[in-house]
Structures are given as C-alpha cells and as structure tokens.
Amino acid sequence: AAPVYLAETAPPKWRGAFTTGFQLFLSIGNLAANLVNYGTSRIPTWGWRLSLGLAAAPAAVILAGALLIPDTPSSLIVRGRVEEARAALRRVRGPKADVDRELEDVARAVAAARAHEDGAFRRILRREHRHHLAMAVAIPLFQQLTGVIVIAFFSPVLFQTAGFGSNGALMGAVILGAVNLGSTLVSTVTVDRYGRRPLFLTGGFVMIICQVAVAWIMGSQIGGDGGSVMARPYSLAVLALTCVFSASFGWSWGPLTWVIPGEIFPVEIRSAGQGISVAVNLGATFLLTQTFLSMLCALKYATFIYYAAWVAVMTTFVVAFLPETKGVPLEGMGAVWERHWYWGRFVQPPVKVADEEP
C-alpha cells in the first residue's frame, strides 16, 4: 500500500521523489539491519536473538505512523466521503492551497471508474488494460532478475567466496548497504528532473558492465571448480564492482520498481495492479532465494553472465515499451499510453461522464 499512498498524495511534479522515498527507507532499514548483524555477531550464544528482536523497533514506528496519516483523496472519494477528501488534500497540499481543481480531476476519474460494473482484477485482464498488466508483471519481475538477490541476501557468501573472512564479509554487506542508500538519495533528487527512463537506462548499462567484469575476474581467478582462493587485489576489485553495481541499482531499478507501478494504474484497477505488482515481486524474491545458491554452485562465475543477460533484456524492454511518466498527473496518465507506438493500439478513449462538483 505504501507506494500507492505516496503516489496518490504527492504533487505530480514531485511524485517520483515522494515515491522513491519508499525505497530510500528500505535502504535505511537494510543498512541498519547489516550494522545490527555485524554488531551482534560478536555476542556469543544470544546475539542472534537480539538481532531478531530489534526488528520490533521499526515495526512500532510503522504502527505509530499509520495512526497519524490521513487517507488519500482518491480512496475517500471512492467511498463517497467528499468533504473528508477535500480536507485530506488540503492537509497534504497546505492550508492555503487551491485544491478544488485537483479534487475535480480525481472525482472525474472515480466517476469514470464507476462506469464499470465488474471487479478490478477482472478489468485488468481486458484488452484495454494490456499495457497495465504487462507493467504490473514485467517491472517487479525484472527488478529481481537484475541479480540484486546476490547483493541483498548473499553478499557475505559472495565475499567469502572472493577471499574475505566472515567478519570481512559482514562488513562488506554494511558497505554495500551504505552505497545503496547513497545512490537512492541520488535517485530521489534526480528522478523528477531527468525522468524515469534515463535512470533506468544508465543503471542497466552500468549493471551489465559490472556483472560481466565480476564474472571475468571470478572465472580467471577461481575457475569453474571454485577450489582456488582469489588474490587480495582481485577480491578488492570484486568488492568495488559490487559496490558500483549496488549504486546503479539504487538509482534505477531499486526505487523505480515502486515508482512506476504506483503511478501508472487508473483508479479503477489501481488496487489490482499494485496487488499483482507486489505479489510478483515477493514471489520472485522467494523463488530466487531458494535457487540462487544452487545456481551459484552449478554455474559458478557464469551466474553473473546469466543476470547480465537479463539486465540487457530488461533495458531493451524499457527502451521499447516504457513511456516517460515524469510530471504527468495520475488522472492524465492515459494520454501517455495513447501516444505510445505499441500500447496505443490497446488504449480505449476515456469514458465520457458528466462533470461533478465535488
């Protein structure tokens, strides 16, 4: 729900930065978890219990925050609570802001959505929402196929393979977490200035280079049997390349995987689209965490070539099929798809509804 909430409450010109904040705080949590793991690893017997127990602290912050935030104007209008929607919009735009025009746009979108009688999941399967369904599946699936799973869960194993000790491997994970946090900040600052597509494309290009370089180093130093120990300079090179990979992911596919699904769905299928997107993301995470170690044992250094090939595929997909959505209001997103060279054939003209005074 968090990316949709951020997209629905953010001003259009800053929506990318607001929605990127979701990934920013994921990065903060990841770095904090790595620091906690590094510290509690020095406590014998019960350190792991402390590490797990401290997860209650951010959970308490989330619970307290959820009690303080207002509902989104779109959600309130869908439920017929127009005055509450106006108050909620004025609360997030400021007491002196003129919110009537924006509220009218939201009301028109909701009225058009009510022209459909079937449910959101059934509607998203229709031809006119083919582009929405494709993005709901492709964007989160591609994010996991970047190879970020190597970084997120198995960086200590990777660094031990590259010649670092156990404590050094944990410190490597801390370094990667810090790099990812810094690069997500870069995305927050630049996403609404330069757009989504440039960040996707530059991130994909850098990730391909890093993964091919890591595969070449590990293949030449460790080989196919994995029995050799990598020399220290090459281990440091792997760490540096992995940091650059983490940085490129942090300014591209990391945050933008939440930005794009959060802003492209019309209100009548927004719940279904975001639900599918998150389910695909978590499902792919589960499958890849169960299979990565076996893949690493079977393919050795070629694992990174495998993920580099996927990054090439997904970068090509962005070039061909993902339009730029920078600065476009949520209620006007349909025009972006109408102008697209491929998706335009699926888009139907908007349903004409009578203007309603909210």
Residue 358: what pLDDT? 46
Question: What pLDDT sits at residue 225?
Answer: 55
Q: CA-CA distance, 141 to 257, in Å (whole number)?
A: 9
**What is the reported pLDDT for 176?**
80
Alpha-carbon gap, residue 284 to 257, rounded angstroms = 13
**CATH domain 2-69+116-327 topology:** Growth Hormone; Chain: A; (1.20.1250)
**Could you tell me the maximum CA-CA distance found in the chain, to the nearest angstrom?**
73
| C-alpha closest to that of 15 among 262, 298, 318, 229 | 262
Predicted TM-score (pTM) of the model is 0.81
Percentage helix, strand, coil for the chain under 3-state DSSP, each rounded to 5: 80, 0, 20
- Provide the pLDDT for residue 350: 57
pLDDT computed for residue 255 by the predictor? 92
Give the separation between CA 218 and CA 150, rounded to whole angstroms. 15
Per-residue tens of pLDDT for the chain, all 358 residues: 888 888 888 888 888 888 888 888 888 888 888 888 888 888 888 888 998 999 899 999 999 999 988 888 888 888 888 889 888 888 888 877 778 888 888 888 787 776 666 778 888 999 999 999 999 999 999 999 998 877 766 667 666 665 666 666 667 777 888 888 899 999 999 999 999 999 999 999 999 999 999 889 888 877 655 556 677 788 788 888 888 998 999 999 999 999 999 889 988 888 889 999 999 999 999 998 888 888 888 888 888 899 999 999 999 999 999 999 998 988 788 899 999 999 999 887 655 544 444 4
Query: Residue 331 gets which letter from DSSP?
Result: G
The 10 Å CB-count burial string (b at 16+, else e) for 237-261 is bbbebbbbbbbbbbbbbbbbbbbbb
- Label residue 349 exposed, middle or buried (CB < 10 Å: 0-12, 13-18, 19+): exposed
pLDDT at 353: 47
Please state, in angstroms and rounded to a whole number, the distance separating the CA atoms of residues 116 and 122: 11
Cα separation, 358 vs 344, in Å, equals: 31
What single DSSP character describes residue 43? Answer: S
Handedness of CA 113, 116, 119, 122 (dihedral sign): negative
Tokens in use for 307? 């993920």
CA 41 to chain centre: 30
With beta carbons less than 8 A apart as the criterion, state whether 215 and 257 touch: no
Residue whose token pair is 């909620």: 88
User: Residue 76 burial by CB count (10 A; 0-12/13-18/19+): exposed, middle or buried?
Assistant: buried
Please give the Cα distance from 272 to 254 (Å, whole number): 22
* 162/232 Cα distance (integer angstroms): 9
**What residue spans define the domains of the chain?**
2-69+116-327
- DSSP H helices, 265-352, are 270-299, 302-321, 334-338
